[in-house]
Structure 1
């Protein structure tokens, strides 16, 4: 039970002021937390350093082209529908979500292709076409993925994991599901074709994990796609963020942009509020950080004693890879490049070797694999009529490796390499049609999102950096402090950060005096 610590707005004794929750960061995790806290009866204020909501799911406008900066898909729309329902609202009234089929197409240098499809029969047909001898093994992999989904997503992912006993009691299930085995190794035990092994194991890269080291529990992503499909929101993820802000406003909450938090204020072991970079002090009964967990503990709590998430521990942690993202528009290309659908994955000549260069060696390789997003085939709002908008992502090393890449010198040469791959494999003649262009490197992620080492997805989701081992939703460093978002439990990705707010709602105290 929580009573208000700071009187704030005027109130008489018969009507105490509603307890105040301060949320740091207007990313999807922060906005989802604000919605759930508002539904619980808190008065909520969200503070964000950017000029618009969404965090990594925000967008930029250039010459009529909208560049969606971060996540491009929704894989578990039910999580958003549950969030809206908790606030007495209907998600599908507020957001226009479109199911995609195929979800994406994977291409290899030998010209072979694999389309991930919505229907189970269509997927089995794709497997049979690519590698008929692996069909039985694929069926086993699908069953494995479902078992891991039931345990890892629906069970562990939706409940708090901040107590050691929560981990101890599930260890037998972890052992039975061979959570010690990597997802790539697990795929290799089920199918023989190296292309199919890649197609079944690359998904951890979507949340910042090395497929050759993260736990096989992440095979559950294959079931997520099968069970819920892959969706795109008209207006991009930024439209979801805007709809979330509308709900918060209707609840009486406030989202403050251009308001960067400099420090979480702790007194007598309890978080009492925060100080902005401007010097403004904001008192709060509870504080929720959707900033990167590393930034929260290393910067925002720099003047407070930390028992677990010390600078030394953060330095020892393994971080997700960096991202090189090229956003560009093209002129007069609607109808061109019919082979380039909404999502295409272009593989380089290496899989394991390239992943090792990115995660282990920290080396910027000459070859690359690319994720190509062409939302204009689905969403007419993303580009002027007759034009296209693209987003091309290449996983690269983060900035924490020895001899980190100097992106001020390498960004343009690397962008030219990316353009050549696109012209050779997917978008012939691209250079003649280029319009507005924007490049994000790990240095951009470091400076724009305050991401340690410019990592794209915070702490890497290895087995000893997941569940109880990950930064907890209930901070052990200060009472009244909670964490949500990619760097905490259950992890990165749109479903993960939305679920972190669901877990938050289970652990915050009831707001006494709410009205």
Structure 2
């Protein structure tokens, strides 16, 4: 047997979690509740990862996810730690969820009430009402199979995939989200409204499996919510739970490498040389970064650099955060969430995902949290973020955002001024811009992607990086790049799946004690 270092003490098994994103925090909470001594390490100064925030001049800019769906998975997470979610996080339901606007002036308002949604469909396209009702039933069927079944259990064994292939075939998982919407409704605006959701998790609606229409059921069944204080506040509370369990949060600290001996993870080496021994290592870093950089000195059989390079990655994001002075009572028809469509849907998506081309036109997601949460802006002011999907940096001739960023934002200003919030630019007081370069440098995401590996059918479930590493024993993965995928429900579920796979701490400690003797 290999002799472990003399300072090894098996009294309480250690778990190191790399990354304080929501998946890493949820994993740490679950492992801490099971008795592990958990250390969470993150290079940022605050927890939350993509769900963190920055503060400027009294404005809080929520950097990433802005909505909470399927709140019961958070309730279950808190309950696993002996706590009550709603006692610690103030979750507010939104009504309406969001409004979609098209260049021709037409609008579609998404709500939870079924009758209200049918009225919206009838207003836009009376002939599509029955098709919409069928679409709702389709999305519910895929929810029970895709989310409650596959999404909440491990898919790391090939037989797991083989067992569900007949169900995949019956639900036509080979068909894209857009293709499925197109079979149910004829109006192109409705086809967009029922198919754009994969963009929220980094997927091309014209190529991502139709299983993802389940999002429509998530919204209608459980509602769309906003966490007061933003997702960053939820992340802060999660960090406090971890510390109350005896865990440690080491912020402003970067992991350089996952150390491996005899095919088993032994801990992590930090930038600067410090070594932290651990019986369990959980990586909430991007799956591509985990295998390509953190395991760079470990031979890999499946997730090799060549395999990662061949993978299809989610799009990049251009995000403009800004605060406006004295506008709280202005633009009364602009709510919490607005989607402004450009003149093209399929063509723009193709430019972003397939051609890797920054287009002259754009579609925008506008987040105005100050209409729900006044704490994110000084009194009487507003806080916004405006997001535009753009190509990631891995295409041929990637965009140089240092050169084109100013012109891109100028086009964004023109669209916003003409279609949504006239006169806003002269009232801006604080601002910050994130490009794919920022995502690459801040979050260490390959190619500056917003959501890791794209969730196409051959990059989902068993085909996705597994929650238990197929390369190194004792290494587990959580977050957007692993099963079941991106989005808050996905990353929180990845922690639930991971917890099912990690052995009890008593077993891990006794097993390694035998190895040391």
Place the TM-score, normalised by the shorter chain, in its bin.
over 0.9
Residue 256 and residue 178 in structure 1: after superposition, are their counterparts in 2 closer, same or farther (change >3 A)? same
* Cα drift, residue 369 of structure 1: 0.2
8 Å contact from structure 1 (residues 6, 284) kept in 2 = no
8 Å contact from structure 1 (residues 6, 283) kept in 2 = no
What SS is found at the alignment partner of 2:16? strand
Deviation by residue 1:169-225 (Cα, 9 ceiling, x = unmatched): 000000000000000000000000000000000000000000000000000000000
Residue 284 and residue 443 in structure 1: after superposition, are their counterparts in 2 closer, same or farther (change >3 A)? same
Distance 1:502 1:203 in 2: 23
Among candidates 86, 94, 111, match of residue 92 of structure 1: 86
Q: Which residue of 1 aligns with 2:37?
A: 43
Among candidates 447, 465, 488, match of residue 453 of structure 1: 447
Question: Does the alignment pair 1:389 with 2:383?
Answer: yes
Among candidates 142, 161, 169, match of residue 167 of structure 1: 161
* Cα drift, residue 380 of structure 1: 1.0
What SS is found at the alignment partner of 2:505? coil
Distance 1:38 1:289 in 2: 16
Distance 1:234 1:225 in 2: 19
What SS is found at the alignment partner of 1:169? helix
Question: Does the alignment pair 1:341 with 2:324?
Answer: no
Q: Which residue of 1 aligns with 2:407?
A: 413
* Cα drift, residue 415 of structure 1: 1.0
Residue 6 and residue 193 in structure 1: after superposition, are their counterparts in 2 closer, same or farther (change >3 A)? farther
Question: Does the alignment pair 1:20 with 2:48?
Answer: no
Q: Which residue of 1 aligns with 2:266?
A: 272
Distance 1:75 1:104 in 2: 13
Q: Which residue of 1 aligns with 2:364?
A: 370
What SS is found at the alignment partner of 2:405? helix
* Cα drift, residue 5 of structure 1: 6.6
Unaligned runs of 5+ residues in structure 2 are 511-517
Distance 2:485 2:404 in 1: 31
Distance 1:349 1:276 in 2: 48
* Cα drift, residue 17 of structure 1: 2.0
Distance 1:79 1:226 in 2: 16
Among candidates 444, 452, 458, match of residue 438 of structure 2: 444
* Cα drift, residue 8 of structure 1: 5.5
Distance 1:290 1:17 in 2: 26
Question: Does the alignment pair 1:123 with 2:117?
Answer: yes
Q: Which residue of 1 aligns with 2:207?
A: 213
Distance 2:310 2:58 in 1: 44
Q: Which residue of 1 aligns with 2:349?
A: 355
* Cα drift, residue 7 of structure 1: 7.0
Q: For this pair of structures, how many residues does the alignment match?
A: 507
Pairing of 1:271-350 with structure 2 (within 5 A): 271-350=265-344
Residue 346 and residue 463 in structure 1: after superposition, are their counterparts in 2 closer, same or farther (change >3 A)? same
Residue 8 and residue 52 in structure 1: after superposition, are their counterparts in 2 closer, same or farther (change >3 A)? farther
Among candidates 215, 232, 241, match of residue 235 of structure 2: 241
What SS is found at the alignment partner of 2:117? helix
What SS is found at the alignment partner of 1:512? helix
Residue 6 and residue 144 in structure 1: after superposition, are their counterparts in 2 closer, same or farther (change >3 A)? farther
Among candidates 35, 49, 58, match of residue 55 of structure 1: 49
- Structure 1 runs (4+) greater than 4 angstroms displaced: 4-9
Q: Which residue of 1 aligns with 2:395?
A: 401
Distance 1:365 1:102 in 2: 30
* Cα drift, residue 278 of structure 1: 1.7
Deviation by residue 1:243-271 (Cα, 9 ceiling, x = unmatched): 10010011000110011001000010000
* Cα drift, residue 410 of structure 1: 1.1
Among candidates 98, 104, 118, match of residue 98 of structure 2: 104
8 Å contact from structure 1 (residues 5, 284) kept in 2 = no
Among candidates 459, 478, 486, match of residue 465 of structure 1: 459
* Cα drift, residue 339 of structure 1: 1.4
Distance 2:432 2:67 in 1: 20
* Cα drift, residue 121 of structure 1: 1.0
Distance 2:369 2:195 in 1: 24
What RMSD over aligned residues (CA atoms) do the two structures have, in Å?
1.3
